[in-house]
Structure 1
Amino acid sequence: MTTDAPRTAAPTDRPEHPEHSGDAGELDADVIVVGGGNAAFTAAHAAAVRGRKVLLLEKAPPEAFGGNSYYTAGATRIAHHGLEDLKDFIEPDERHDLSEVPPYTADDYAADLARVTDGRNDPELTEVLVHEAAPNLRWLQSLGLKYRLMYERQAYEREDGSYLFWGGLHVGNVGGGEGLMHDHVRVAAELGTEVRYGQDVTGLLVEDGQVTGVTIRRADGSLEELRAESVVLGAGGFESNAEWRREHLGEGWENAKVRGTPFNQGEMIAAALQIGAQKAGHWSTCHSTQWDAFTPNNESNRELTNRLTRQSYPLGIIVNTEGRRFVDEGEDFRNYTYAKFGREILRQPGSVAYQIFDASLRPMLRAEEYEMPGITEASADSLPELAEKIGVDPRALVETVRDYNDSIDLSITWDPTIKDGRRANTTPVKSNWATPLTDGPFYAYAVTCGITFTFGGLKSDTHGRVLDASGEHIRGLYVCGEMLGGLFAGNYPGGSGLAAGVVFGRRAGTLA
């Protein structure tokens, strides 16, 4: 998959416009969509298939298209009844006959959302998400998007050559986030949606209490107005805005590495709040993961995208720069912990930690993440040598590993495909997948906090209609994607972000 500009797109940069491109009362489109990721394009498709004239405005230039979605692995969490229930819309694969894909019900999905957010998820939004994610992926597939089983990320190959999927997250886009967004752009062109890049949308037009369009700042600083019957906001959160991160997430968050697009600065959230939209969601938390700490160009990297994550950590241990463990690496499948562990690393000295593995575990690490070019990796035949290489006190690291090894309940069979209960009864405990680190060479991977998206956004009903302080719909204004607050708090189940973008993007575009 290439990483350059979209292969098939409507016109990109526009020539200079007059302050308003039509006569008084004339609309530039029926629906204006602000944003350029998965949710925004899904909303555009939903409006376009209804025969609406759709104009999609993306702040990034064409070579940086795709929003945050471009930087993902494309994993999308849906409820299903097992492999036979998925075959009608996923790409065929010769491994299917050798694969076990456990069912993942809507009840499972809802329970996972409530569990990992400590019950702070909006129940009405959750109900819609868990029931509509699967049919909406089928709808997108009917338009031309392509999906597959994610063998390399969500399955382990067993000794008999079969595959067992785990963690409730099984389906993703062909080509990952890059493939997802190339497909979206192609479908938009086929449906007649006009896509304009380099569009710095600065505000919302309101007349008689109804949103009637947007204002755009031109390169020379002048403002242009574009008018429509409805505006759908799908422009992402504020994770790329260091000032907002510090204000809402807390001191130190300005140092987090931005995993995705640098254009998610929160301007459209601010624009909606300015006209009376109500806040929703957990503004003080976000999706943050373990991210390569020292590889050059480790922010908004369009070549490596999601490969800078380090997500095989449940197999080993994580230590800080003092050589001490500080989280339960085996608390749950990584799908349910990876979005919060970046936050824990940010709190450590220097906001850096090291994932530690031995020679027996190294072959099990995800190849796409641990064998990428220029990876921050250290290896040594002994733990003291490894500690010296990474600047950690050798005695502290050796003591930590010895205590961990000695506390493991070896009577329980180690099995990474299930929550095996093989504990390390130390502090902090490791609840599953504990195995002694004894065989050299030993490996260390430096990680820091990589921020993906923020959980605070705008309040809406279940159809994406933005609500004001009194709970009334702001006529003509809709929201979807990371701008929609209420689903996530503190943590989230992997793949539910792209799923929510699809579900509420389609709902918003269906009404707009």
Structure 2
Amino acid sequence: MSEAFEFDVVVVGHGIAGLCAAVSAMERGKKVAVLERAPEDDSGGCTRYTEAYLRLKSEDELSDDFEEILAQCGVSSASPNIVQAMAQAPEQWSGVVRSSAVTDPDFIATFARETIPTIQWLKDKGIRFIATHLPHITLRDHTPMIVPSGGGLAMQEALLASAVKGGVSFFYETAARGLMQDAQGKITGVEAVSRNNRPMQFHAGSVVLACGGFEGNPEMLARYMGQGATNIRPVAPGCHFNLGDGIEMAKAAGAALSGDYNTYHATPIDERSGRPEAKMLVFPYGIVVNRQGYRFIDEAPGASYETFDRFCHAVQAQEDGVGYAVYDAKMGDIPNYERAIFSDKPPITAGTLEGLARELGIPEQNFLETVEQYNAACQPGDFHAEYPDGLRTHGLTPRKSNWARPIDTGPFHAYPLISSSIITLGGIKTDASARVLNTEGDPIPNLYAAGAVVGMFYRKYAAATSVLRGAVFGRIAGAQV
């Protein structure tokens, strides 16, 4: 027989979205339980490990492109009729429009409107924010942003302290398995399992799903990402706990799906490193070859963060999902290039290209021909590492569009890169009040969701918005229950 508990609110997930929902509900006098699959010391999902870049110019000001970039990422090839219908007031939308695979303008407007109040709310919890830039070399990457001092872990610790002080109950090593639903379609709680497969039931007036995407679920990755999905590695240990449970539970209860299930936000990491977020962001300044010694993509079509996903998806599709970033001693000419290397492993180094091929275990002749052809295609011109300089190859397929300098000065270096998932983009559909919508466009009574379990991005991700949307809509969800 299942062990049973009674709460006003059950929150599934312990990351930024879940903690914001729990604290927000607690502040309204609700009796709150948080279910977390991970052990206490590993709790927090991706939040624990992220730097938590926020797309804000300051604590009081959004980025200039905030709503514009969200709108660009919020639709794929939607019917013009759906888009046109969304220009009307939300109360006039049909069920088809409400449940459509488009991030609606009301959701985006709410995100923008509630961001600064959420930042101030987080400051009240003791979280301090500082100005920063993304950790890339190119000037185009130097969009002003803020981060919490201490990163995502500092946010987690501050919110956790507030939750514990306010009486929120935490159930670690407890995985949600399904939603409880009555004959009228209302959500009445969560069925879960604790250690040793012990069944548990959490009866509640409201449930908030905040348990992330499916970065750690090989089956879902294979189902949606296709070829090479087995080569994708979660970017941080916390992502291994993100198994897509919230999506599957909500789907079983009739939830509409949204977001782009065929792609994910990615970053290249050093295959050899076990360090969280062992990002390798210098690849645009050299060439990248596969296990056969051949180039397979334009390494530098633009500023690096704008090309991460496309680059990583191409690496994923290579043999064993590996690409080798190769560069020579001229990398030392780039000021502070080391700040774009987050691996704890040194580069693989050799005095000659032949020696480097042997160190990498790739066909020597193929590699030498690749470098020879690349070097011959490089053109004279001024090299400017700090912005896309247009120094491109000529007559080479695939071309290299920027920073194309010959690789001819030893010693030569390489890093083995693999694709690492930061967040999956597919999820469930909610409205601007964080209510989960069913496939008919109606709210599922008593069910809310926030964070990466909600699908809102298509084709590409809007940089530095993931932690922010978890906080904003987690707080909104907690205020609704």
Question: Structure 2-normalised TM-score?
Answer: 0.85
| Counterpart selection for 1:244 from 212, 220, 224 | 220
Does 2:109 match 1:122?
no
Counterpart in the other structure of 2:242:
264
Structure 2 portions without partners, runs of 5+:
79-100
Match of 1:40 among 2, 18, 30: 18
Contact 1:319–1:325 (Cα < 8 Å) also in 2: yes
Counterpart-to-counterpart distance in 2, 1:174 and 1:345: 33
Residue aligning to 1:99: none
Question: What secondary structure, in the 3-state scheme, does the structure 1 residue paired with 2:259 have?
Answer: strand
Amino acid at match of 2:401: S
**Secondary structure at 1:68's aligned position in 2?**
coil
Contact conserved, 1:59 with 1:199, CA < 8 A, in 2?
yes
Cα separation, partners in 2 of 1:419 and 1:137, compared to 1, 3 Å: farther
Partner of 2:341: 370
Q: Is the 8 Å Cα contact of residues 55 and 66 (structure 2) preserved in structure 1?
A: no
| Distance in 1 between residues matched to 2:303 and 2:412, nearest whole Å | 23
1:274 equivalent in structure 2: 252
3-state SS of paired residue (2:201): strand
Read off the aligned partner of 2:384 and give its amino acid letter.
D
* Equivalent of 2:429 in 456, 459, 466: 459
Task: Name the CA distance, whole Å, in 2 between partners of 1:403 and 1:114.
Answer: 40
Match of 1:184 in 2: 159
Deviation of 1:39 after TM superposition, in Å, equals 1.4
- Aligned counterpart, 1:95: none
- Give the partner amino acid of 1:255: N
**Alpha carbons 2:8, 2:206 under 8 Å: kept:** yes
Contact 1:287/1:490 (CA < 8 Å) preserved in 2? no
The match for 2:449 is: 479
Which one of the candidate residues 467, 470, 476 is aligned to 1:498? 467
Moved more, 469-478 or 45-54: 45-54
State the alpha-carbon separation in 2 of the partners of residues 408 and 138 from structure 1: 51
Q: What is residue 113 of structure 1 aligned with on the other side?
A: 73
Q: In the alignment, is the contact (CA less than 8 A) between 2:291 and 2:362 conserved in 1?
A: yes
- Partner of 2:10: helix, strand, or coil? strand
* Residue correspondences, number: 453
The answer to whether the 8 Å contact 2:392/2:403 transfers is yes
* Pairs within 5 Å for 1:57-456: 57-78=35-56, 80=57, 86=58, 104-110=64-70, 113=73, 122-124=103-105, 125-150=107-132, 153-154=135-136, 166-168=141-143, 170-207=145-182, 208-260=184-236, 261=238, 262-295=240-273, 298=274, 304-306=275-277, 308-362=278-332, 364=335, 367=338, 370=341, 372-373=343-344, 375=345, 377-411=347-381, 413-425=382-394, 426-456=396-426
What per-residue deviation string (whole Å, max 9, x for no partner) do you get for residues 143-168 of structure 1?
Answer: 22232233571567xxxxxxx67353
Question: Which residue is 2:86 aligned to?
Answer: none
Deviations 1:118-166 (Å, cap 9, x if unpaired)?
A: 888624244444554444333322322232233571567xxxxxxx673
Contact 1:71 1:259 in 2 (8 A): no
Following the alignment from structure 1 to structure 2, what is the Cα–Cα distance between the partners of residues 167 and 429? Answer: 26
Q: State the Cα distance separating 1:103 from its structure 2 match.
A: 6.0
Greater shift in the superposed pair: 62-71 or 495-504: 495-504
Determine if contact 1:286/1:489 at 8 Å carries over to the other structure. no
1:8-55: per-residue Cα shift (whole Å, max 9, x none)? xxxxxxxxx97323xxxxxx3322110011111122232233333322
Amino acid at match of 1:41: L
Q: Secondary structure at the match of 1:153?
A: coil
User: In the superposition, relative to structure 1, how do residues 475 and 460 fare at CA in structure 2: closer, same or farther (>3 Å)?
Assistant: same
Q: Deviations over 1:256-295 (max 9, x none)?
A: 2222322211222222111211222222222233122234
1:88 to partner: Cα distance: 6.4
- Supply the distance in 1 between the matched residues of 2:318 and 2:222 (Cα, whole angstroms): 17
Q: Does structure 1 retain, via aligned residues, the 8 Å contact 2:74–2:458?
A: no
What TM-score, normalized to structure 1? 0.80
Deviation of 1:108 after TM superposition, in Å, equals 4.9
Between the aligned partners of 1:478 and 1:151, the Cα distance in structure 2 is 33
Deviation of 1:450 after TM superposition, in Å, equals: 1.8
8 Å contact from structure 1 (residues 337, 491) kept in 2: no
1:209 CA drift (Å): 1.6
* In structure 2, C-alpha distance between the alignment counterparts of 1:472 and 1:88, rounded to whole Å: 35
Question: What secondary structure is seen at the aligned counterpart in 2 of 1:20?
Answer: strand
User: How has the CA–CA distance of structure 1 residues 66 and 133 changed in structure 2, closer, same or farther, with 3 Å as cutoff?
Assistant: same
CA gap of 1:458–1:123, structure 2 versus 1, over 3 A, is same
2-structure distance, mates of 1:123, 1:402: 50
CA distance in 2 between counterparts of 1:129 and 1:88 reads 14
Q: Percentage identity across aligned positions?
A: 30
Amino acid at match of 2:341: Y
The 3-state SS of whatever aligns with 1:283 is: coil
TM-superposed CA distance for 1:502, in Å, is 1.9
AA at the equivalent of 1:416: A
Listed as ranges, the gaps of 5+ residues in structure 1 are 1-16, 22-27, 81-85, 90-101, 157-163, 299-303
Secondary structure at the residue paired with 2:385? coil
Q: Does 1:20 align with 2:4?
A: yes
Residue equivalent to 1:4? none
Shift of 1:87: 6.5
Give the match's secondary structure for 2:330: coil
Distance 1:445 1:131, change over 3 A: farther
